Structure 1
Amino acid sequence: MNKDSIAELIDDKNNALISWISAQEDEKWIEGPKNKWTSGQHALHLLQSIKPLNDALSMPKFVLRYKFGKSNRDVRDYQTVVNRYQERLKNAVGETFGPSKNMKTPALTEKQYLLDRLQVEGKKLQYKTRKISDKNLDTLILPHPLMGKMPIREIIMWTAHHIEHHTNTLKEKY
């Protein structure tokens, strides 16, 4: 996928999520299905995954290269990244990584703030995606807790799918 296509995909998926959560009753923000995340926790989890990516993309590229290295393979296409994630997800049932582990339920008073932050971080990611060079998108890598090291282009495509994955989960569970 080219940069513009990826940026548009991020925009579409992020807007769909925010629209869906915004249209739900406030109770769903703080109460989820038994042993499942609330819509507030889904929103917080996505913010906790997008923000560090934006932070990494704000770093000088030589720092990323020094810290994580360079890719030694070709970039996978969107569907291959999605399929690989779904496969890894099946083997990690019930596992949660990073700051989303033992996550609190965001208060209803935080709903608009978190949705606004998701919108802002999504727009930042779109901007950064369009701004970074194709060479850096394809050669610089970042670590992912479930997928391992991935070229930046792949991790941004994965982010679009990750947003869609959580939107679909919310639609199914509610």
Structure 2
Amino acid sequence: MSVPQAPHTREELLQALNQMQGELGTYFRKLPGDVFTRGSAEAWSPSHHLHHLTLSNAPVAKALQISRDRLGRRSGGRPSRSFLDIRDGYRDALAGGAKASGRYVPDPQGDQAALVQEYLDATAAVRTALAGWTDADLDRFALTHPVLGELSVREMLLFTLYHNQHHLGGVKASLGQA
């Protein structure tokens, strides 16, 4: 996936999220049905990866829709980290044994078209909700990531971009397409 090396502004994030949504939607829609579902809870199929992304993207959209006065403020006053910093932090967490748990463990139900549409809807909801944010508020407010801890809203969006890229790369690698 070709996410810009350093999306940062709200506009750049919107553009990168749109590009990501289109690329993943097209890729998963075009997979042969038997390939899309080949896998298990231990060795995820492409459908597991896609459902996991839907489960991960939907709470981000909901969080962006919460009134700002109900969101936490960032602690420490540090600037938001970059896309590459977030990527590296997540890779370190994975190397340390982090993995999906709880509500983020996929259990894909439905046909391929329905699962792709659920993903597209969840990702579009992130973009729609983001449109109501200012660049300053992306750094001012915090969300909690289950593995990475407190992130600015901007950092959570950067994580969302990388997380989608990471899973697409994992699917392609498992199918010998990397």
What TM-score do you get using the length of structure 2 for normalisation?
0.86
**8 Å contact kept, 1:44–1:114:** yes
Match in the other structure for 2:27:
20
Distance (Å, rounded) in 1 between the aligned partners of 2:39 and 2:68: 40
Q: State the superposition RMSD in angstroms.
A: 1.8
**8 Å contact kept, 2:86–2:155:** yes
Match in the other structure for 1:70:
74
1:128 equivalent in alignment to 2:129:
yes
Tell me which moved more, 131-140 or 148-157: 131-140
Give the number of equivalent residue pairs.
167
The answer to which structure has the higher helix fraction is 1
Offset from partner CA, 1:103-157 (integer Å, 9 cap, x none):
43x24x4321221121122222122223212222101100101111100001001
**Which structure ranks higher in relative contact order (CA pairs < 8 Å, sequence separation ≥ 6)?**
1
What's the % identity of the aligned pairs?
A: 20
Match in the other structure for 1:162:
163
Offset from partner CA, 1:54-105 (integer Å, 9 cap, x none):
111111111113xxx4232211111111111111111125x3223133x43x
Distance (Å, rounded) in 2 between the aligned partners of 1:32 and 1:120: 24
Give the superposition deviation at 1:29.
Answer: 2.4
Match in the other structure for 1:111:
112
Give the superposition deviation at 1:34.
Answer: 9.4
DSSP-derived class of the 2:147 partner: coil
What TM-score do you get using the length of structure 1 for normalisation?
0.88
**8 Å contact kept, 2:58–2:125:** no
Give the superposition deviation at 1:33.
Answer: 7.7
Match in the other structure for 1:40:
47
